[in-house]
Amino acid sequence: MSQPLKGLFIGAGFFSRNHLHAWAEVRGAEITAICDRDPARAEAAAKEFGIGEWHTDAAVLHSGRFDFVDICTTMETHEELVALAVAARVPVIVQKPFAPDIATCLRIEAGARAAGVPVMLHENFRFQKIFRRLREILDAGEIGEVTFGRLNWRNDIDVYTNQPYLLKTERFMIMDVGIHMLDLARFLLGDAHAVSCFNQSVKEGLAGEDAATLMLRHDNRAVSVVDISYATHKTPNTFPQTLGEIEGRLGTVQILDGQVLRIHSPAGLRDEVIAPDQRSWTSAPWTQIQDSVPRTQQHFIDALRAGTAFETSARDSLQTYALAEAAYRSAASGAVVKTADLLKDI
């Protein structure tokens, strides 16, 4: 393999450790510098992960020394940072959520496309082992044409201690968790074009919703239900598993607690346990999410080196973010909202 691609990493916060551990596993790339506007965080991360340079200003992107940038900051900073990378013509992988609203997502994508700079969303739920295997089962036709799906994420894990910004985020649950579910719904059932949604704010003192129930109409006429909640008190706490089922004309695949796929098909009934890989740096209960990070980043590097499309490119992700925007508009109006109007200019 030729020389590894050199990357700048921006955002040495809570989730960054998973990215940085994962970059040490990714073939064909290395992080050669880290940037955080907090010098203490930048320096500490550089020291811990053996990265030769640390910076506090992302303008270092213009140094011409980076083949890519990994932006691991919160969504309100993404437009400025991606624009900086695009101006420096540095390909981007940027964490979810893309941006706080569809208009900003559209601006970011249009700017990158006009400049010919590739941008991928670090949207890693579809890269979890269990969902790659579920996609294989669907592709093999074991349950026939999909007709219905339900994806649910219902727990009461304390996300607020590690991610305190979620307490103040007005568009919270759909943008933070729902976006994972909507991308999974598209990954498993195909694109969707209409949404009906009810939001709830259950926990006291939050700026935004912490529960939502969405219903999607997919382009293939399938219907899916996405229900998410950080206010669900039950044992066992299934965080961070996405549970549910996918139904087809010939059978059903259930997604059950314990990373179990229960396949009901004409060939019979079977369980497959698709456990995430453990690593020295992974730890319960985050393992299933952590395991997807190197897979997501390896896909980015492989596609970047080959010049092929990212599964979760900025352009593809507009479909996901239009569903999230439609959900908020549906929750506000009580109506079913179609995404066509939100994406008419792309």
Looking at beta carbons only, is 312 or 319 nearer to ligand NAD?
312
Q: Indicate which of ligand 89V, ligand NAD, none lies near residue 86 (CB less than 5 to 8 Å, by partner kind).
A: none
User: Whole-angstrom distance between the N-terminal and C-terminal Cα of the chain?
Assistant: 37
285 in contact with ligand NAD (CB under 6 A): no
Please tell me the distance from the alpha carbon of residue 214 to that of residue 336, in angstroms, as a whole number.
Answer: 10
- φ, ψ of residue 221 in degrees (nearest 5): 80, -5
Q: Indicate which of ligand 89V, ligand NAD, none lies near residue 177 (CB less than 5 to 8 Å, by partner kind).
A: ligand 89V
Looking at beta carbons only, is 100 or 240 nearer to ligand 89V?
240
**Minimum CB–partner distance for residue 10 and ligand NAD (Å):** 5
Q: By CB under 6 A, what part of segment 81-110 binds ligand NAD?
A: 81, 95-96
Residue identified by tokens 């940037």 is: 35
DSSP 8-state symbol, 175: I
Cβ 330 vs Cβ 162: under 8 Å: no
289 in contact with ligand 89V (CB under 6 A): yes
Q: Which two tokens stand for residue 54?
A: 């640390």
10 in contact with ligand NAD (CB under 6 A): yes
77 in contact with ligand NAD (CB under 6 A): yes
Q: Indicate which of ligand 89V, ligand NAD, none lies near residue 159 (CB less than 5 to 8 Å, by partner kind).
A: ligand 89V
Looking at beta carbons only, is 97 or 248 nearer to ligand NAD?
97
Using DSSP, state whether 204 is helix, strand or coil.
coil
Q: By CB under 6 A, what part of segment 165-194 binds ligand 89V?
A: 176-177
35 in contact with ligand NAD (CB under 6 A): yes
Handedness of CA 275, 94, 111, 300 (dihedral sign): negative
142 in contact with ligand 89V (CB under 6 A): no
74 in contact with ligand NAD (CB under 6 A): yes
Q: How many CB atoms lie within 10 A of CB 139?
A: 8
228 in contact with ligand 89V (CB under 6 A): no
Q: By CB under 6 A, what part of segment 143-172 binds ligand NAD?
A: 163, 165
Q: Is 144 left (phi over 0), alpha (psi -120 to 50) or beta?
A: left
- 43, exposed or middle or buried, with CB in 10 Å at 0-12, 13-18, 19+? middle
Cβ 70 vs Cβ 93: under 8 Å: yes
Contact residues for ligand NAD (CB under 6 A)? 10-16, 35-38, 41, 58, 72-75, 77, 81, 95-96, 122, 124, 163, 165, 176, 289
